Amino acid sequence: MKKITLLFSFFFTIFLFGQVSTNKAHDAIVKEFLTNCAEKHNYIIEMSEWQACLDQGLQKDSTVAYLWQQKAMPYFKCKKYEVGMPFLDKAVLYDKARWLPYRAFMKCIFSHNYKDAIVDFDEAIKLYGNSYVMDHSFNFYKALCYLQLNEYEKAEKLLDDYVNDIYKNRQQLEHPTAYFYQGIAKYELKKWDEAIAIFDKALKIYPEFSDAKYYKAVCWLKQGKPREEAIALVEIARADAAKGFSINEDNTVYETYPYQKKFGK
């Protein structure tokens, strides 16, 4: 029995230190070819140099998922989604836990492949639970996909659950973006009173939220409120938007979010 225990311990040690060694080897490759090579270049004007550095690292070890993701990332930011996605697929292949939720997010917000995004989010939820990516739950982003697919009842259910979970568990502060999209689901279902009440919750947290003001004004019009009042609120929203007060998610720098209002001059 003692020999068996020692033998198991020996193989477990090999397995454990083999894993650590692999991770250390990956870290070294990332440092050499990303930190000390690719990141010396600005991918906006030196894309080929950026990619060449990463390609050298992947020639050394093609299983370094982070390098595949870093190959994809600048193409997404340049709106070259079909170029970037195969690289992101490779990242998911080699590290699904880390990059599957991220790929789902990228399909939802960047490449606008909503049905594919839902498939990825469903797999992520099955494997890892309704966890978070880019500040929101997987089901939050599924709801955005459903809004974009005109499946408003599904979106409403997921957004109601998300907002209730934030409020109940206090895992994070109440989020104006969460309220905004919950209000949008009510708006699309013609629940004008509910939508207005929820937009007001968003505006209590973020008083300059131009998108919430715009859709609140539209709800007013649908209710038959005087047109002048609705137009006045739209003009306030326009002024706030001109100052940069819109949906304040980090990636709005690169992409327009669903229902984000762009005011013309």
- State the DSSP code for 58: H
pLDDT-wise least confident of 13-17, 22-26, 99-103, 258-262: 13-17
Residue 4 lies in a domain: yes
- Mean pLDDT across 70-84: 97
Q: How many CA atoms lie within 13 A of 261 on its CB side?
A: 26
Residue 117 lies in a domain: no
- Mean pLDDT across 149-172: 88
Backbone phi, psi, residue 251, to 5°: -85, 5
- State the DSSP code for 225: -
Tell me how far CA of residue 66 lies from CA of 96, 116, 246, in angstroms. 11, 22, 32
Has residue 20 got a pLDDT over 90? no
What is the biggest distance separating any 2 CA atoms in the chain, rounded to whole angstroms?
Answer: 87
Confidence of residue 264 (pLDDT cuts 50, 70, 90): confident
C-alpha 210 chain-centroid distance:
21
For residue 174, the model assigns a pLDDT of 72
For residue 8, the model assigns a pLDDT of 39
Per-chain mean pLDDT for the chain? 91
Residue 249 lies in a domain: no
Tokens of 88: 């992101």
Has residue 14 got a pLDDT over 90? no
Least Cα distance to 132 among 183, 89, 175 occurs for 175
- State the DSSP code for 171: S
Gap between the Cα atoms of 90 and 67, Å rounded: 10
Gap between the Cα atoms of 167 and 162, Å rounded: 9
For residue 167, the model assigns a pLDDT of 76
pLDDT-wise least confident of 58-67, 137-146, 158-167: 158-167
> Which residue has 């140099």 as its token pair?
49
Burial class (CB in 10 A: 0-12, 13-18, 19+), 12: exposed
Q: What is the percent of the chain with per-residue pLDDT over 70, rounded to a whole number?
A: 89
Residue 179 lies in a domain: no
- Mean pLDDT across 5-13: 40
- State the DSSP code for 31: I
Residue 59 lies in a domain: yes
Range of the domain at 85: 1-94
Residue 113 lies in a domain: no
With a CB cutoff of 8 Å and minimum separation 6, the contacts of 104 are 117, 120, 121, 124, 133, 138, 141
For residue 117, the model assigns a pLDDT of 98
Q: Domain total for the chain? A: 1
Residue 201 lies in a domain: no
Q: Higher confidence at residue 28 or residue 20? A: 28
Gap between the Cα atoms of 190 and 156, Å rounded: 12
For residue 172, the model assigns a pLDDT of 56
Helix (H/G/I), strand (E/B), else coil: 110: coil
- Opening angle at CA 182, ends 210 and 140, nearest 5: 110
- Mean pLDDT across 130-156: 97
pLDDT-wise least confident of 9-18, 119-128, 145-154: 9-18
Has residue 15 got a pLDDT over 50? no
For residue 168, the model assigns a pLDDT of 75
Residue 194 lies in a domain: no
pLDDT digits (tens, 9 = 90+) for 187-237: 999 999 999 999 999 999 999 999 999 999 999 999 999 999 999 999 999
Confidence of residue 23 (pLDDT cuts 50, 70, 90): confident
